[in-house]
Amino acid sequence: MFKVAVIGASGLVGRALVEELAQQADWQVVSTGFRRAGPHSITLDIRDAAAVKQFVEREAPNAIVIAAAERRPDICEHNPALARALNVDAVRSVAEAAKQRGAWVLSISTDYVFDGAHPPYRYDAQPSPLNAYGRSKLDGERALTETTDFGCVLRLPLLYGPIVDWAESAVTSLVPAIAASASASPGTKAAVMDAWAIRYPTFTPDVAYVIRQMLERHARGEAIRGIVQWSGDEPMTKYEIAIRLAGALRVEARLTPQHTPTDATPRPHNCHLDSSRLEALGIGRRTPFDTAIRQVLEKFPWLASDVRNTA
């Protein structure tokens, strides 16, 4: 029996991965969560190194996927200690426990390890993060690779997918502003959306599919090591994402593009990730954005209908 531990199974990526792995009849999946640990999930604070060690020793997985992190750039900027505890120290603790067990470990990282000045970025490009979030994730990558040589870092860009609320993804977090602009009275100022930073929205079920393919290679004795990257291939600003969201929601949104950066926390302009290392292994799947975002809205019809009724 091939056993996989998914750490952070209550999050955006973790939920999609558990659902994907559930289709593997001959695999066993054990999942953990913290604040939103479900009925079939083990509560685990990954900041507690002793608890992490006990979990790995008890469950004895063949592979561990670390999907837990502090991924909000503004929070990381204002609380770097929290960012380091989750994005660096916890990764090291899991990697140490995995090494003692002989388990392969996969850690999720970000395109924000790059400064966005010279895209596309290969997996072996020199990182140069602009903010505390990017620096913490880069240090987390190093914590993994310095602790074990039987592991892999998977860098991902802006993610969206099945959600528990609009704010869970930076893509769907635009919906309330879209709805407000659509319902505003004539003469009201349009909602301003960033049209400077270029992002590559990536569907979490596609990410889960990619991780499953990576796990299958490990199960065959062909584990991938080092750093790999996966990304959607449709470049969009938040303004362009909002336009397409409004179309999917069937509302007439009043939006204004903002062509200069306004975020208090510095963000890269365009850190497009080159996915060729995984593609060369026959790994990957990309669902078109318009198709995928409609799938998200169809899974949560009451949320979408609330927006339409408001508009």
Q: Within 13 Å and on the Cβ side, how many CA atoms surround 139? A: 17
Q: What pLDDT shows up at residue 279?
A: 98
Q: Is 146 within a domain?
A: yes
Residues 127 and 249 reside in one and the same domain: no
Domain-embedded: residue 126 = yes
Predicted local confidence at residue 180, as pLDDT = 84
Percentage, residues of the chain above pLDDT 90: 70
124 and 151 in a single domain? The answer is yes
pTM of this structure: 0.92
Q: What is the CATH number of the domain that holds 124?
A: 3.40.50.720
pLDDT at res. 301: 57
Domain assignment present for 275: no
Written as six digits, the tokens of 149 are 């040589």
Task: Say whether both 23 and 144 belong to one domain.
Answer: yes
Residues 134 and 180 both lie in one domain:
no
Q: Is residue 102 domain-shared with residue 155, that is, in the same domain?
A: yes
Model confidence at 39, pLDDT cuts 50, 70, 90, reads low
Residue 79 shares a structural domain with residue 222? yes
Q: Looking at residue 238, which CATH number applies to its domain? A: 3.90.25.10
- As a whole number of Å, the CA-based R_g of the chain is 19
- pLDDT reading at 201 higher than 70: yes
pLDDT (tens digit per residue) in 138-173:
999 999 999 999 999 999 999 999 988 888 899 999
- Domain for residue 104, yes or no? yes
Write the burial class of residue 174 (CB in 10 Å: 0-12 exposed, 13-18 middle, 19+ buried).
buried
Within-domain flag for 282: no
Q: Label residues 264-275 b or e (16+ Cβ within 10 Å = b).
A: eeebbebbbbbb
Residues 57 and 175 in one domain: no
218 in the same domain as 149:
yes
Position 294 scores a pLDDT of 93
Whether residues 100 and 176 share a domain: the answer is no
Residue 247 lies in a domain: yes
Q: Are residues 154 and 53 in the same domain?
A: yes
Q: Are 34 and 45 in contact (CB under 8 A)?
A: yes
Cα(266)–Cα(132) distance, integer angstroms: 9
Residue 33: per-residue pLDDT: 83
Q: Are both 74 and 218 inside the same structural domain?
A: yes
| Residues spanned by the domain of 190 | 166-198+234-270+289-310
Shared-domain flag, residues 224 and 296: no
Q: Is the pLDDT of residue 64 over 80?
A: yes
Is residue 304 situated within a structural domain? yes
Beta-strand runs (E) in the chain:
2-7, 27-33, 42-43, 63-66, 104-110, 151-156, 159-160, 191-194, 202-203, 226-229, 255-258
For residue 279, being part of any structural domain is answered with: no
Domains of the chain: total: 2
Q: How far apart are CA 245 and CA 14, in angstroms?
A: 24
